[in-house]
Structures are given as structure tokens and as C-alpha cells.
């Protein structure tokens, strides 16, 4: 926590000009109870204090240095800080890796200086941080972040800035705010660990444009979510957004599917927009956990009540029927309805819809809500439908920390997300901190696409059930037919030609010697190698894929095989390693998994042989970090048997 | 229009008590420029005017009567109105079909009185109507609807009431507001026709809990959408919502799939929530049409700009890259960026993201927006991120009719809906006002599930290609084998047993006389009729269904056959009648349609035989209104051939 609660701070680049960052920060620090040392060789005194020419000239020890000077001067200032033995450095200055090669060089220089020390660095190119409980605000936003229980970690300063203003309006606040910048040192994972232990923090929000270390994020976030909720909003999902992000914080955003899978698998909630983020933060900041789903709705408006009930049904919350107090309800009528639903022990959460009609007593009704629900330890949201007319009533609720969401249908949606989070949060899968070690004697692999012979060796080593395959030649066709039997398949190694159906590099259902011979000749003209396999008649086709991208852990793709994988997009993805029970759950989330599990009276297939293939495949890919891609299409699965018919393996020099 | 712009109004039930509805209406009418006659036998004078004991005692003609008296007295009052020959009657009173049998009886009485006249009736159980251009407000909402270009037709008074307040805050307004109530007389379809011609109306909003006449809605709304946009929000999609709606306006909400298909097929936009409704209304009220999709984004906030670009990519708007003026941009920096994007002729719409940072000049920047964009005839939305701090700036934009949507990602989403609507609106399919007449000599059908013999007759009559089928008997098996050839299928009539796979009522792939004989014996024990068909080896299986629900037109369901129809939910639906080109489009929207059309190098199948089957099926179902359900599962489609293998037809006494 030394980073976020220093007792003394030196401001390198302190300025007399209040509109400059170094002036802004000095102004903000006037409220800080710790010691502040302005550092600037051009001044003797600043803000009524002695000003030092360098951090080294400060006579006493200093916990933290804030650096807000031009980028070319930063490395020397960092050297001074290390010399002074500060515990942490916050580099506000931009002009580093986000600005091109010269800037990257500066970052490398600083990294090298820091490496042998225990000094923590936040930034560069960051928006500072804030610890409102200490009146410590090192940002330069228009609004000072109000104090509260939300911790915000952000790769965008503007989003922090916006949320401070939003929180002030909503009477919410922050336990901590940290702008990440280029993450030369401290990253989101370090902060998650700190915030998990922070008693002032109830919910953690993350705005990211990339993950500093995705595997570590999975391991840490899945643990933190057992303690408190993490909400992630991710920028740079599109190619345009990705380009913009790169010039923003030097972050290269990963593909969307990886981002979504990572957030989901970590047990975090994903906010798809700033709107969702603010509403989720309001709910998670104000409401207790919601473990069950019986929702009571009290409304004085028929239509909006009906719409809210419709939404509840769509998001699987139980509403027996909205309590309609009718358009002419006075505050006392509402009160009676509140008493009724509060008494009902079955109800887990409350939504009150208040629509301003001629007779409606907005303020009196809101005062009644505050009074009657203040001791109820269950989630409650009030939807005040209307424009300016409802503002004073809304203020009564906000001041008393009652959640208000303008639209009743949105309120229901956010309640359902609260429920889903808390309902599932005990079942979060803890992603391992360390991967299992493979004790097999490994064979060495060349780079590029592996040949069939290499794949046979590798699958044997990892007990992967590859169908018996022969190399067909002019003179061994009869022997192969004797060995494998009819019907026979002749085809290419998938590594050789990609779209076999289009390119006629596969012949199925060969039932006579003459057919086999004819097809062999046709294939031999195009291919260096012709494979012969027995045709597996019935069974379901499954697609299995593993891929490694950037510094993400290996991603498993499971789904329908053949054309259905593509056309119906019937696939699910998960990062490895996983255990058999998680894997079985994943399989059952796909349509093909439902079919195999005996959909509507279809025969139920034993999934164990398939699960065994995936687990062995996992061993293989974890043992070989140089394998970047495996495509198995299809595995054919039948009662008590799963057979790999086709496999393609890519080995790359660019290991993860 | 006589309903919405009367020159003289009698208020039956005028009251001296201002909190009563009859008092509210009198108060509101003080601003109306036409003549107002209070009617109440208990008063001589009311609101400084002579008060009449009955409408008949008014000496001059009266255009419109408003009735706000207890329900039991209403039928007599209506009789008086008819005697007085008013053009229209608005019944505010509740206590009719929404309240049970006695109320329904009252409605019937009134209907019978009205039938021989040309008098129009709005209500009963309604919230009045408003015509702001005439200062005419017969509602009793807290806020009088401000004048503007939105027409609102609603089955909920509270939703009107809410929207009036919302519009006032947003500086938007209404051309007309009409509360439908129980729709004894005037319904949404009559009003759509009127509003289509109303010069003051730019966009029409509908809140419905049921359709008064769905076929007519399809015919009328598809025409109105060629002239101006219709936005529909529907309440009562869930079973709880449906129950609540029934006690609300006596409306029995139809199943969701029907509602969604009806709205979509009519070319209307569906708002899924009140939030969507208000944002769509703001955009459609303020913005010109958007026929192309190149979006310019100007932002002073990196993160929100990236998020907006991501959303644009997701909703298929083109953003080359957000113009980032950076966090410290002054109004003049924004101005320069505005000039740059306005000059760019390629840009079709603009999104400006304004995030309050230390240097940001909120008001000055908004004033620049108003000045620079006022002459640009293209859609523009401003996202002002922030809470109270942004309120004065927002007010500048609202007052000048510049659309503001708080969240940039929402703004992008609504721009995409504007684009989708205008991009497609010339291609709206006009649903026919009259259905084609069948000139065939029809056979008469019994009620219930038709037998195979009856189905053979019917399919022959309508040229539906049913596979050749024989009735298998102990003594004709060899003859059948000779006739149909191997492999053979033995099965039940689908009308006889429902889940044939589970119940072993079908045997495929019979290749020998002994197999046929054995399976025949097994089936004969369970079935009264055993059908024999040749097995159609390859080809794709298609599901075709037709169903009639309530007073909706026949609904066609098209999709993958067999298990894929259910598991993958690969179906599309449309109301009949349709023409071949619409049908072909529908087919291609399904996954199976994409496979048939030659997905990724697969052989392309001729769709014509399939389309012909659907068109003939359409003729059949339109000729027989008593047919409520047809299931064809599957049609097998192969190159140049489509064959019906199984068909089930239900005839009902409850005709539509």
C-alpha cells in the first residue's frame, strides 16, 4: 500500500502556474495531511514552502516522488529518486512508449535503473492516483474524486475524470483511483492484490485497453472475485478502436474473443459500455449481495410495471405480479404497499416505480421509502420516471444512499446482474498460479506444420486416440484394404492442402479395390502423401482447437465439427489449464454437447473418452510452449469411443 | 381528424372539484380556443359558464363529448350524445371490459348504439387525448404535453404522462397524444392513417399491449412507414406481464414471437424499453434521415472515443478514426476540428464527445457546436460525459434542438438505428390489404388431425410434392418393394404418434424383404396404419410450419429440419401472404438457407422447388381459414427437387 498511502511526497516539476500539471498537483496537495516537498531548480519558494533544486537536496527521507517534467529529463530525475531511496515514483509526464521509438528507449532506461531496487513505479503517461480517505488527489481532473467504496483502476484519465463527476452527482465515491498509464512498473494485477485487502473498497472497477499479463490476471482476478466483485470495461475491441488505443497508452489490444473469455473466466463482470459501468458501480456500491431471485415490484404506473415484469421474466428474475397502487396513489398508499412487500420474507429484492401523475406525492413517497427500507438488508432500487419534475425527489433518495435507476427495465436488468454475480460467485473456478509440469521425456519438434509421421509420434506420446492411418502407395493398396477393411477413406495430410472438400483431396466411402485404385491415382497426382483410413460410419463430429496468441495462455475451442462449427457458430472457448469438471460443463454449454447428453430422448453418449482426449491435448500443449496451434477436425464420438480423424499442429519460433 | 380537432366540446361530468377528473379537464380546457360546454345536472354554473343538465339541453350543435361519469351512467350519456349527433365521443370513465363481465356488457350496449351511426368513440377507460397545436389537453397528467413533432398513441396513461415530462426537460414535444383505453371504437390503425397525413407529425410512437387487428396493422403500418417512421414499444411479453396487462386495458397480449414478427414485418422500429423509446424519439424527432453510414467522431477523451469507435464497428457504422483533440482542448481547438469534419463531404453523421477536464470550456464549446452545425443538414449527436457539471452546457444544446445522448456508445447505437431505418425504408414490403381469392373447387375437411388419405387429396389439389407413399399390409409388402424399391422406410402417419424416434414408430434403411416384414409386424402391433415410403438418401432436411393464433394472419415458420430446428433454433418467421422474392430473402436469412445457397464452396442448390412448395402451401392455408396448423418435417431438398416426406394438418372449429 506504500504506493497509495505515502506520508511524504516530493513534487518534481512543482510549478507556480496553476494551470500547469505541476501547479495543479501542488494545489491539490494543499489538503493532504502528509509532508509535501516542491522540487524545481527555478524557484526558492513555492506555495509558501521552501522549494528544493532536486529531490536529493531534501534533508529528510521522502516516501514518494511525483514526476511532472518534460520526458527527456525524466530518466535523470528517476536516478535521483533511486539515490534518495524513495519507496515509490509516480511519473505523470508523457512522451514515452506511446510516442514512438525515442520514448520506448527512455522507458527501457528507467526499467534498467529500477530493476535492482524495490522502488515501485506508476506510469509514465498517467493521470496520477487518488486516495480520498487521506485527502490525497494527485489527478488533475475538474472534480476531486469524492470518498466512497469504489476502487477504480484505469488506462484512461478521461474515464476517471468523468466518473469523479458522475459519483459526485450520485452521492457515491471512491476508496482509491489509480491511472495506469504505460505500466512500466505497477500494473493492474499488483493493484488488484492490494485492493482485495483494502477494507475501504467494496467493488473494483477496471478500464483496460490491454492486459499486462493475462495468465496472472486470470489467477489473481479469479481469487479476488471470491472476496469482492471486479467489473471490467474494455476499450479497443474493434480495429479502429485498437489503433486509437495504441497511440493512447502504447497498448496493443488483443482480439475480442480472448478479452471476453478472459474476463468471464476470471469471474469478473464485463461492462459493455460506460452506461453499464456506472449503473453496475452504483448497484454494487450501494446494495448488499443478492443470492436469490424473487423480486417485488411496487408501481403506480400500469404500463411501466408491465414492461418491468416482462424484463424480469426475460432475465430470469421471479415476479409474482407487480403491486399496482394505481395512478392516484398518495404517499400513504405507497407506504401500505411497502409494508406489505417488506413483510413478505420470500422477497429478495425490491423495485419501486414512481411515475409523476397528478396526485403523486413525489417527495413524501421518497421520504417514506427512505424511512421504511433503511433497515431492510436487501437490495432496493427506485425508478423515478420523468424529467426535471422528479429531480428533488431523486436527491432525497441519493442523499440516503438508495439506488436510483431512471428506467424500470434497466433497474431490473441490473438487479439480475447483481443476482447472477452473487449467485455464481462461490463457484468461480480458481485459475492456477502455476501450470502443471510435464514429466514425460519429450521429443524435439521442428518449426512449421508438423508432418503426419511427427503427429503420429506426438499423439502416441500423449495417449491421443488417432485413427489407424496407413500411407497408401501403388503397391500396398491390397494390403491396406486387408488391414483396414471397407469402406475406406483416401485423403491428404491436412497440413498439405487446406480446403480439401473444395480441392477434391478427400474421397469417402470407397468400397471396392477398383475405386480405391482410381482415387489413389487421382490423389497421387496432386499430393506427395496419400493417407488411408477406415471410414467411421456414424457418430457425431466434434471440433477441437487450441491456439496461443501473444502472451495469453493457450485457448481451447470446443464445438460442433464439420460445417456446423462455422455456420452455426456452435463453439465455446476457455483458457487452459482446466480440470475435468469445468471441461464437462463447457461441453454441455454447446449445442452439440446437449445433443450428446441426450437431447429430447436421443441416445445419451458417454462423454469420458472425449474429455480424456481434451485433457491429454492440454498436457501436450502445456508441455510444448512452442506449439501455437492445434486443429482437430473432426474428433468422431460414438458410444464409449472418441477417435481423432484429422489433426494439424503448428510449431512457431515465437513462443509465448 | 374530427376526433382530434373539434371546434366545440361538451364535458359530461364537469366538476367543481379540481382534483376530480371532471374538474381537471375543465381546468385544462380554459386554454382551448374552441367552445366548451360543462354538463352536470347538479350545477347551474361552473367555471364562470352556464352548466347544462344534459348534452341535449345545449342549444347549439356540439362536435365532441367528453364523458367522465361513473360507468353505470355512461350508456345513457352515450345515447344522449347520439341523439345530439356529436361527431365523436371520448369516454374517460373506467369500469368496462377491463373490470369483468358487467363492464363488458356495458361495452356491448354502447357498441350496439354506435353501430348504425358515424360517431367515433375513443376509450372507454382512457386517459383522453391532446392536440397541443390547439392548446387542447384532455389528459390529466402532471405536465401538459409540450408542442412538437412526435405523435404518441398509448394503451397506458402513465407512459404518456411520463413522456410529457421527459419531453419538456428535453425541449421536445408532441403533435398529438391519444390514449387508446379499451378501444371500443377507435383503434391504433385508424389513428395511424390519420397521423400519416398529419403535417405536424414527423414520427409516430405506439405503446401497445395487444393489436386490435393485426392483419390491418401490417397493411397500414407497412404503408405509413413509407411516409414516416413508426416506433412501437410492446408491454405484456411475459406471462406475468400479460396477466397484468389484462387487468390494465382488458387486452390479452399475444405471444412474443408474433409481436416481434408483426412489428418487424410492418417496417416499424421496435423499442425494447422505455429508455430506448425516449432515445429513439429524440433522434427521430430532431435528426434528418441518415441514408449512409460514414460517422465522424470528435472527442477530447481518449478512452470514451475508443469505446465509441468499438461500438461503431459492432453496429456496422464506418469510423475511419476518432478525431482526438486531447484532454486540454479549448473551445477553439474543438472549433477547428468541427470545421475539418464538416468540410469532409464523405461524412454522413457526427458524434461529438465532450468530457469535462480541467481545461475544458463546456459552454463555449457547446455554443460553437450550435453555431457551426446549425446549417449542416446531417445528423449530429453530442455526448456530454458527466454529472451536474455538464447541466448548463447540455441546456444550451437542448434549447437549440441539438440531440444529446449522455453516453457515447449509446449515441452510436441510436445513430445506427437511424441509419438502418432510413437505409431500408424504401424496401419495406407492403403487406396486402386483401388476401388473394382461391378459385379451386375445394374439398370439405373434417375437424381435428387429417388422415393420410385426406392429406394426399389435399396436397394433390394444391400441387404439393408429397413423396409416393403406400399403405403397407401383410399381403402387399412384395408389391410395395417392387413399386418403391430399396431402401425402404416404414413408419406411422405423423398424426398417429408424436415422438416417433423415441417411440420406435419409424424404421429407416430397410434393404431386404425379411427386414421389411419384421419391421412391418412390429409396427402393426402399435399402429392402425403403416406407411411405406422410398428412402431419400441424401439432401438437406427443411422444416416448414404454418400456424394461426388468435386474430393474427397465418404465420410461416421456415428452418432447418430434424433435430437442428430445435437445438440450433435455426428458424425464421413471416406472416402470409408473401411473394416469391420476400420468401427467397427469408430462406437466405437462415443458416440452412446459407448452406443451400453454397456456403464456402459447398454445392449450390436450386431453391425454386422449395419456394414453389411454400407458395402452394400458402394458397392452401389461405383457401382454408379453418386450418390452424400445418407441420411439414421434413421437406427433403436436393438439386432441382424438393419432396415432402411428412405432413401433419390440424383443422379447428375456432376459425380466425
User: Are the Cβ atoms of A388 and B245 closer than 8 angstroms?
Assistant: no
Cβ atoms < 10 Å from Cβ of B332: 12
| Domain at A540-651, CATH class | alpha beta
Cα R_g (chain A), whole angstroms: 31
Coil vs helix vs strand at A557? strand
Residues 6+ apart with CB under 8 A from B585: none
CATH (one of 2.30.30.30, 2.60.40.1120, 3.40.1550.10, 3.40.50.720) for B1-125: 3.40.50.720
User: Are the Cβ atoms of A244 and B302 closer than 8 angstroms?
Assistant: yes
Cell (9 digits) for B296: 465522424
Of residues B98, B242, B232, the one with CA closest to residue A319 = B242
What is the pairing mode between strands B470-471 and B531-534?
antiparallel
Question: CB-based burial of residue A362 (10 Å sphere; 0-12 exposed, 13-18 middle, 19+ buried)?
Answer: buried
- Tell whether A320 is within 8 A of chain B (Cβ): yes
Cell (9 digits) for B169: 426537460
In this prediction, residue B141 has a pLDDT band, given cuts at 50, 70 and 90, of confident
Query: Which of B241-245, B311-315, B595-599 has the largest mean confidence?
Result: B311-315
Q: Per-residue pLDDT for A656 more than 50?
A: no
Cell (9 digits) for A455: 503427429
Residues 376-415 of B with CB under 8 A from A: 385-390, 406-410
- Tell whether A173 is within 8 A of chain B (Cβ): no
Cα R_g (chain B), whole angstroms: 31
In this prediction, residue B654 has a pLDDT band, given cuts at 50, 70 and 90, of low
pLDDT score at B142: 83
Residue among A162, A300, A321 minimizing CB distance to B244: A321
Cell (9 digits) for A503: 480441392
Residues 6+ apart with CB under 8 A from A338: A298, A352, A368, A369, A372, A373
Residues in A touching B354 (Cβ below 8 Å): none
Residues in A touching B154 (Cβ below 8 Å): 303
Cβ atoms < 10 Å from Cβ of B634: 20
Q: What are phi and psi for residue A478, nearest 5 degrees? A: -65, -40
Chain A interface mutation, best of B140, B240, B319, highest count of A Cβ atoms under 10 Å? B240
Q: Where are the beta strands (DSSP E) in B168-218?
A: 174-179, 203-208
Fold of A126-286: Rossmann fold (3.40.50)
H or E element in which residue B559 lies: strand B555-560
User: A38-53, pLDDT tens digit by residue?
Assistant: 999 999 999 999 999 9
Cβ atoms < 10 Å from Cβ of A227: 13
Residues in A touching B239 (Cβ below 8 Å): 313
pLDDT score at B472: 95
Of residues B191, B386, B511, B105, the one with CA closest to residue A278 = B386
pLDDT score at A177: 98
Contact indicator for A462, A616 with CB cutoff of 8 Å: yes
Question: CB-based burial of residue B382 (10 Å sphere; 0-12 exposed, 13-18 middle, 19+ buried)?
Answer: buried
With cell 480424456, the residue in question is: A612
Coil vs helix vs strand at A471? strand
Contact indicator for A216, A189 with CB cutoff of 8 Å: yes
User: Are the Cβ atoms of B154 and A303 closer than 8 angstroms?
Assistant: yes
The shortest C-alpha distance from B380 to chain A (Å) reads 20
Q: For A168-196, what is the mean pLDDT?
A: 97
Residue among A236, A356, A568 minimizing CB distance to B142: A356
Lowest-confidence region among A116-120, A381-385, B127-131, B604-608: B604-608
Residues 71-110 of A with CB under 8 A from B: none
Cβ atoms < 10 Å from Cβ of B545: 19
pLDDT score at A18: 87
Lowest-confidence region among A323-332, A455-464, A560-569: A560-569
Q: How far apart are CA A261 and CA B371, in angstroms?
A: 46
Q: Per-residue pLDDT for A526 more than 90?
A: no
H or E element in which residue A337 lies: helix A331-343
> What is the separation, in whole angstroms, between the first and last Cα of chain B?
31
Chain A interface mutation, best of B28, B234, B300, B302, highest count of A Cβ atoms under 10 Å? B302
Q: How far apart are CA B236 and CA B233, in angstroms?
A: 10
User: Are the Cβ atoms of B310 and A360 closer than 8 angstroms?
Assistant: no
The shortest C-alpha distance from B129 to chain A (Å) reads 16
User: Are the Cβ atoms of A241 and B307 closer than 8 angstroms?
Assistant: yes
The shortest C-alpha distance from A387 to chain B (Å) reads 5
This prediction has a pTM of 0.92
The shortest C-alpha distance from B202 to chain A (Å) reads 22
In this prediction, residue B656 has a pLDDT band, given cuts at 50, 70 and 90, of very low
Q: Per-residue pLDDT for B503 more than 70?
A: no
Q: Per-residue pLDDT for B655 more than 50?
A: no
Coil vs helix vs strand at B27? helix
Coil vs helix vs strand at B268? coil
CATH architecture of B290-427: 3-Layer(aba) Sandwich (3.40)
The mean predicted confidence, pLDDT, of chain A is: 92
User: Are the Cβ atoms of A595 and B563 closer than 8 angstroms?
Assistant: yes
Residue among B142, B319, B410 minimizing CB distance to A358: B142
Which residue is closest to A570 within chain B, CA to CA? Answer: B568
Q: What is the residue-wise DSSP string for A406-429? A: SSHHHHHHHHHHHHHHHHHGGG--
Q: Could you check whether A1-125 and A289-427 share the same CATH topology?
A: yes
Residues in A touching B157 (Cβ below 8 Å): 302-303, 327, 357
User: B205-218, pLDDT tens digit by residue?
Assistant: 999 999 999 999 99
- Tell whether B237 is within 8 A of chain A (Cβ): yes
Dihedral sign from CA coordinates of B564, B566, B571, B576: positive
Of residues A543, B162, B57, the one with CA closest to residue B38 = B57
Report how many Cβ contacts below 8 Å link chain A to chain B.
288
Q: Per-residue pLDDT for A499 more than 70?
A: no
Q: For B385-409, what is the mean pLDDT?
A: 93
Q: What angle do CA A264, A268, A270 make, to 5 degrees?
A: 75
User: Are the Cβ atoms of A165 and B324 closer than 8 angstroms?
Assistant: no
Q: How far apart are CA B383 and CA B394, in angstroms?
A: 9
The crossing angle, in degrees rounded to 10, of helices A302-314 and B157-170 is 90
Residue among A156, A357, A599 minimizing CB distance to B161: A357
Residues in B touching A305 (Cβ below 8 Å): 244
Residues in A touching B386 (Cβ below 8 Å): 162, 165-166
Superfamily holding A468-534: ATP-grasp fold, A domain (3.30.1490.20)
With cell 513555492, the residue in question is: A46
Chain B interface mutation, best of A21, A92, A162, A180, highest count of B Cβ atoms under 10 Å? A162
In this prediction, residue B481 has a pLDDT band, given cuts at 50, 70 and 90, of very high
From residue B446, give the alpha-carbon distance in Å to each of B551, B626, B631, B652: 22, 10, 18, 9
Q: How far apart are CA B48 and CA B50, in angstroms?
A: 7
- Tell whether B17 is within 8 A of chain A (Cβ): no
User: B315-369, pLDDT tens digit by residue?
Assistant: 999 998 899 998 889 999 999 999 999 999 999 999 999 998 888 899 999 999 9
Domain ranges of chain A: 1-125, 126-286, 289-427, 468-534, 540-651
Q: For A506-532, what is the mean pLDDT?
A: 91
pLDDT > 70: percent of chain B: 97
CATH for A289-427 is 3.40.50.261
pLDDT score at B526: 85
CATH for B128-286 is 3.40.50.261
Question: CB-based burial of residue B213 (10 Å sphere; 0-12 exposed, 13-18 middle, 19+ buried)?
Answer: middle
In this prediction, residue A502 has a pLDDT band, given cuts at 50, 70 and 90, of low
Cβ atoms < 10 Å from Cβ of A424: 11
Cell (9 digits) for B355: 468530457
Cell (9 digits) for B18: 379540481
Amino acid at each position: 500500500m506504500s504506493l497509495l498511502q505515502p506520508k511524504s511526497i516530493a513534487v518534481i516539476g512543482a510549478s507556480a502556474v496553476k494551470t500547469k500539471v505541476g501547479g495543479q498537483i501542488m494545489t491539490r496537495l494543499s489538503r493532504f495531511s502528509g509532508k509535501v516537498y516542491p522540487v524545481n531548480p527555478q524557484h526558492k519558494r513555492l506555495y509558501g514552502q521552501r522549494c528544493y533544486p532536486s529531490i536529493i537536496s531534501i534533508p529528510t527521507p521522502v516516501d514518494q516522488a511525483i514526476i511532472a517534467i518534460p520526458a527527456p529529463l525524466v530518466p535523470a530525475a528517476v536516478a535521483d529518486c533511486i539515490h534518495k531511496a524513495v519507496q515509490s515514483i509516480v511519473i505523470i509526464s508523457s512522451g514515452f512508449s506511446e510516442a514512438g521509438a525515442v520514448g520506448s528507449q527512455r522507458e527501457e532506461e528507467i526499467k534498467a535503473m529500477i530493476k535492482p531496487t524495490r522502488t515501485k513505479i506508476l506510469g509514465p503517461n498517467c493521470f496520477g492516483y487518488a486516495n480520498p480517505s487521506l485527502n490525497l488527489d494527485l489527478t488533475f481532473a475538474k472534480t476531486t474524486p469524492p470518498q466512497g467504496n469504489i476502487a477504480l483502476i484505469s488506462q484512461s484519465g478521461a474515464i476517471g475524470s468523468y466518473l469523479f463527476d458522475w459519483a459526485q452527482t450520485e452521492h457515491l465515491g471512491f476508496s482509491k483511483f489509480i491511472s495506469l498509464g504505460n505500466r512500466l512498473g505497477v500494473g493492474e494485477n499488483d493493484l488488484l492484490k492490494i485492493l482485495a485487502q483494502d477494507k475501504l473498497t467494496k467493488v473494483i472497477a477496471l478500464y483496460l485497453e490491454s492486459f499486462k499479463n493475462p495468465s496472472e490476471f486470470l489467477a489473481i482476478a479469479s481469487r479476488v472475485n471470491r472476496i469482492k466483485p471486479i467489473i471490467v470495461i474494455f476499450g479497443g475491441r474493434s480495429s479502429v478502436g485498437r489503433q486509437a488505443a495504441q497511440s493512447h497508452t502504447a497498448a496493443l489490444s488483443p482480439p475480442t474473443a480472448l478479452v471476453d473469455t478472459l474476463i468471464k473466466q476470471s469471474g469478473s463482470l464485463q461492462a459493455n459500455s460506460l452506461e453499464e459501468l456506472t449503473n453496475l458501480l452504483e448497484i454494487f456500491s450501494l446494495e448488499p449481495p443478492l443470492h436469490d431471485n424473487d423480486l417485488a415490484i411496487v408501481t403506480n404506473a400500469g404500463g411501466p410495471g408491465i414492461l418491468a415484469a416482462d424484463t424480469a421474466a426475460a432475465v430470469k428474475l421471479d415476479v409474482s405480479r407487480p403491486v399496482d397502487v394505481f395512478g392516484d396513489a398518495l404517499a400513504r398508499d405507497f407506504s401500505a404497499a411497502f409494508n406489505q412487500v417488506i413483510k413478505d420474507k420470500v422477497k429478495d429484492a425490491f423495485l419501486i416505480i414512481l411515475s409523476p401523475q397528478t396526485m403523486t406525492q413525489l417527495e413524501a413517497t421518497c421520504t417514506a421509502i427512505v424511512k421504511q427500507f433503511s433497515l431492510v438488508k436487501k437490495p432496493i432500487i427506485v425508478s423515478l420516471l420523468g424529467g426535471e419534475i422528479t429531480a428533488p425527489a431523486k436527491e432525497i433518495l441519493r442523499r440516503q444512499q438508495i439506488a436510483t435507476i431512471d428506467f424500470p427495465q434497466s433497474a431490473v436488468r441490473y438487479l439480475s446482474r447483481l443476482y447472477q454475480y452473487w449467485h455464481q460467485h462461490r463457484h468461480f473456478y480458481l485459475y492456477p498460479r502455476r501450470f502443471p509440469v510435464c514429466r514425460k521425456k519429450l521429443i524435439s519438434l521442428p518449426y512449421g506444420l508438423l508432418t503426419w509421421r511427427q503427429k503420429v509420434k506426438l499423439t502416441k506420446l500423449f495417449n491421443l486416440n488417432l485413427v489407424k492411418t496407413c500411407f497408401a502407395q501403388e503397391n500396398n493398396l491390397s494390403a491396406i484394404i486387408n488391414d483396414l477393411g471397407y469402406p475406406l477413406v483416401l485423403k491428404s495430410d491436412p497440413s498439405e492442402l487446406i480446403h480439401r472438400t473444395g480441392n477434391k483431396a478427400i474421397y469417402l466411402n470407397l468400397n471396392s479395390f477398383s475405386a480405391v485404385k482410381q482415387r489413389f491415382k487421382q490423389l497421387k497426382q496432386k499430393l506427395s502423401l496419400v493417407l488411408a483410413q477406415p471410414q467411421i460410419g456414424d457418430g457425431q463430429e466434434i471440433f477441437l482447437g487450441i491456439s496461443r496468441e501473444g502472451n495469453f495462455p493457450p485457448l481451447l475451442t470446443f464445438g460442433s465439427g464439420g460445417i456446423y462449427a462455422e455456420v452455426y457458430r456452435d463453439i465455446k472457448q476457455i483458457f487452459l489449464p482446466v480440470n475435468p469438471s469445468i471441461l464437462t460443463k463447457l461441453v454441455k454449454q454447446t449445442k452439440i454437447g446437449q445433443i450428446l447428453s441426450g437431447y429430447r430422448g436421443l441416445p445419451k453418449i458417454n462423454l469420458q473418452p472425449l474429455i480424456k482426449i481434451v485433457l491429454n491435448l492440454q498436457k501436450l500443449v502445456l508441455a510444448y510452449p512452442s506449439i501455437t496451434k492445434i486443429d482437430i477436425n473432426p474428433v468422431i464420438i460414438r458410444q464409449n469411443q472418441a477417435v481423432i480423424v484429422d489433426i494439424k499442429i503448428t510449431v512457431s519460433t515465437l513462443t509465448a
